[in-house]
Amino acid sequence: MSGLFSELAISKMVLRNRFVLPAMQRGMAVRYTPTPQLIDYYHRIARGGAALVITESIAIDHPTSTGHDGFVMMIDDSRAQPWTTLIQGVKAEGAHILVQLNHNGACRVENSGGPRPDLPSLSPSGLMRAGQANGRAATRAELAEIRDGYVSSALAARRFGADGVEVHCAHGYLLDQFLWHETNLRTDDYGGATIAERARFPAEVIRAIRAATDDDFVISVRFSQWKEVDYDAKIVDSPEELGAMIKVLRDAGADLFHASTRRFYKPEWPGSTLNLAGWARTLTDAPVITVGSVGVTIDIMDTIYSEKPVDSDTERAILTLESMFEEGQFDLVAVGRSMMADPDWVSKIQQRAFDAVIPFRRELVRQSLQEWDDSVIRSSSLAHGSESAN
């Protein structure tokens, strides 16, 4: 049997195989709350064989964490019932679940909704990227409030039964803005010339979550080189820098690292076949997730913004993954669009039924974006009392 279908223990969480559903915004939330449609989506993925489900990105408990409704959710006691239903249903299907926590930082669109649309966007230095300002630099007191917001949301996830959380330090959002030298120009001890110095605030967030929970509560950290505003961005230029960052975050309490790339099969640096996850795997004793265009021929951002054709390439992807797994390049693999298209994807892969896999279609992403637009309209109408709550 393929090693991809062996068990893996992370703390007390024992995964039945090595396949993960990564966080993907589905546009199925209303008023920052999971809908029955979204809950069923996660339950179907778990029923189809995924070992670990990571929810779409959740705006932490802070008024500047997001400006959007529909495309983003929140987790708190006012939303306890749908979250409990979502989480317990995933676990009833034999999978485990992490709730991904995020703050948009300088990527937040001001005056576009959210708990306090009037407040400025907060980030390390008021920059979305070099030369592109938005909002302002957060004060140390504001950063302490943001840190506490991560803790509050993590505690809500634990109350509702989640196995842990994933701290989103990727793709150009707040914690990634601390890691990236272009967006972290701070002169206090949250800035600095080295990646270890710039990782201090993300580490502080992780350490605070660990202190508020316990050793059995899993903390995953998702990181990336690329940003949605710059596909060629780099937070580290060498394995040595990557190792320094990982050590800071691991020492703070991270149990799992999720190395986000747009194409899982691409080497990270010349002279080696290792991808970003592969390098991370050599630099830590923690398990590592790889991700990026598994089973599809174009990467995720091209799916959204390009007209390139999308073809399925499932069998070749699995053969490549099996080879990389045997080489020790990763412990888990996240599969997004392929599972979105076919909730039974994992079960079919286990049976080697490649021809039975339902291929991904670009329309699924566009449908999510349209649902997001529709949900914003619904939410606005509900807020003004012009529609019934159902």
CATH code for the domain in which residue 220 is found: 3.20.20.70
Would residue 390 count as lying in a domain? no
pLDDT cut 90: percent of the chain above it: 80
* Domain residue limits at 343: 3-383
Separation CA 7–CA 17 (nearest Å): 5
Would residue 388 count as lying in a domain? no
pLDDT given at position 369: 56
Characterize 251-286 residue by residue with b for buried, 16 or more Cβ atoms within 10 angstroms of its Cβ, and e for exposed: ebbbbbbbbbbbebbeebeeeeebbbbbbbbebbeb
Burial class (CB in 10 A: 0-12, 13-18, 19+), 196: middle
How does pLDDT run across 178-210, given as a tens digit for each residue?
999 999 999 999 999 999 999 999 999 999 999
Residue 174 has which token pair? 């707040």
Would residue 154 count as lying in a domain? yes
Per-residue CA distances from 311 to 299, 367, 375 (Å): 11, 18, 30
Cα-flanking dihedrals φ and ψ of residue 235, to 5°?
A: -95, -25
Cα-flanking dihedrals φ and ψ of residue 258, to 5°?
A: -115, 100
Asked if 266 and 231 touch (Cβ cutoff 8 Å), the reply is no
Would residue 244 count as lying in a domain? yes
Per-residue CA distances from 370 to 34, 215, 227, 375, 381 (Å): 17, 40, 23, 9, 17
Asked if 33 and 70 touch (Cβ cutoff 8 Å), the reply is no
pLDDT given at position 312: 75
Instruction: Give how many domains the chain has, as a whole number.
Output: 1
How does pLDDT run across 327-361, given as a tens digit for each residue?
999 999 999 999 999 999 999 999 999 999 998 88
pLDDT given at position 367: 65
**Mode of pairing for the β-strands spanning 96-102 and 164-171:** parallel
Would residue 73 count as lying in a domain? yes
Mapped onto helix, strand or coil, the DSSP state of residue 140 is helix
How does pLDDT run across 155-170, given as a tens digit for each residue?
999 999 999 999 999 9
Would residue 230 count as lying in a domain? yes
Bridge partners, residue 220, by sequence: 166, 256
Name the H helices within the chain. Answer: 36-47, 80-92, 140-159, 174-179, 195-198, 200-212, 239-252, 276-283, 300-305, 314-326, 337-341, 345-350, 362-383
Per-residue CA distances from 348 to 16, 49, 183, 357 (Å): 15, 9, 43, 7
pLDDT given at position 382: 33
Among the ranges 25-29, 307-311, 348-352, 365-369, which has the highest mean pLDDT value?
348-352
Would residue 307 count as lying in a domain? yes
Please compute the mean of the pLDDT values over residues 60-81 and round it to a whole number: 89
Asked if 279 and 239 touch (Cβ cutoff 8 Å), the reply is yes
Asked if 46 and 390 touch (Cβ cutoff 8 Å), the reply is no
**pLDDT band at residue 30 under the 50/70/90 scheme:** confident
Would residue 389 count as lying in a domain? no
Q: What is the identity of the amino acid at 47?
A: R
Residue 108 has which token pair? 């937040």
pLDDT cut 70: percent of the chain above it: 91
pTM given for the model: 0.92
Residue 385 has pLDDT above 50, yes or no: no
Separation CA 6–CA 17 (nearest Å): 5
Residue 381 has pLDDT above 80, yes or no: no
